[in-house]
Structure 1
Amino acid sequence: MKNFDTLYKDHADLIYRFAHRLCGEPEAAKDLVQETFLNAYRGFDKFRGDARISTWLYTIASRACLRMRRRRKGAPERELSLEEFIPTSDGEFRLQIPIDGLSPEAALHNKQLRAALDAAINQLPKKYKMVLVLRDMEGLSAKAVGSIVGLNERAVKSRLHRARLFVRRQLSARGLGEPLTDHNHDSRG
Structure 2
Amino acid sequence: MSRGSAAESGEGPQDPSGFDKLYRDHVDLLYRYAYRLCGEAEAAKDLVQETFLNAYRGFNRFRGDARVSTWLYTIASRACMRMRRKRKGEPERELSLDEFVPTSEGEFHLQIPVEGLTPEEALQNKELREALDRAIQSLPKKYRMTLVLRDMEGLSAKEVGAIMGVTERAVKSRLHRARLFVRKELSARGITES
Q: Please indicate the TM-score interval, normalised by the length of the shorter structure.
A: 0.7 to 0.9
Deviations 1:129-162 (A, max 9, x none): 1100111122211111111111111211121112
1:114 lines up with 2:129 in the alignment: yes
For structure 1, which runs of at least 5 residues remain unmatched after alignment? 76-80, 84-93, 180-189
Q: In structure 1, what is the Cα distance between the partners aligned to 2:41 and 2:189?
A: 30
Following TM superposition, where does structure 1 have runs of at least 4 consecutive aligned residues deviating by more than 6 angstroms?
none
1:48 lines up with 2:63 in the alignment: yes
Q: In structure 1, what is the Cα distance between the partners aligned to 2:134 and 2:166?
A: 26
Checking the alignment, whether the CA contact within 8 Å between 1:97 and 1:114 is kept in structure 2 is no
Q: 1:23 to 1:168 in 2, by over 3 A?
A: closer
Q: Which residue, out of 84, 106, 112, partners 1:96?
A: 112
Aligned-residue sequence identity (percent) comes to: 71
1:172 lines up with 2:181 in the alignment: no
1:162 lines up with 2:177 in the alignment: yes
Checking the alignment, whether the CA contact within 8 Å between 2:132 and 2:182 is kept in structure 1 is yes
Checking the alignment, whether the CA contact within 8 Å between 2:93 and 2:138 is kept in structure 1 is no
Counterpart residue type for residue 42 of structure 1: R
Q: In structure 2, what is the Cα distance between the partners aligned to 1:82 and 1:153?
A: 26
For structure 2, which runs of at least 5 residues remain unmatched after alignment? 1-14, 95-109
Q: CA deviation at 1:5?
A: 1.7
Match of 2:25 in 1: 10
Q: In structure 2, what is the Cα distance between the partners aligned to 1:70 and 1:63?
A: 11
Q: 1:71 to 1:97 in 2, by over 3 A?
A: same
Q: In structure 1, what is the Cα distance between the partners aligned to 2:119 and 2:46?
A: 41
Counterpart residue type for residue 47 of structure 1: F
Q: Which residue, out of 4, 19, 38, partners 2:53?
A: 38
Match of 1:86 in 2: none
Q: In structure 2, what is the Cα distance between the partners aligned to 1:175 and 1:27?
A: 31
Checking the alignment, whether the CA contact within 8 Å between 2:54 and 2:75 is kept in structure 1 is yes
Q: Normalising by structure 2, what TM-score? A: 0.71
Checking the alignment, whether the CA contact within 8 Å between 2:112 and 2:125 is kept in structure 1 is no
Q: 1:99 to 1:9 in 2, by over 3 A?
A: closer
Q: CA RMSD in A?
A: 2.7
Give the length in aligned residue pairs. Answer: 163
Secondary structure at 1:73 match in 2: coil
Match of 2:34 in 1: 19
Deviations 1:86-134 (A, max 9, x none): xxxxxxxx72244753473x55554443333223222224431110011
Q: In structure 2, what is the Cα distance between the partners aligned to 1:166 and 1:138?
A: 19
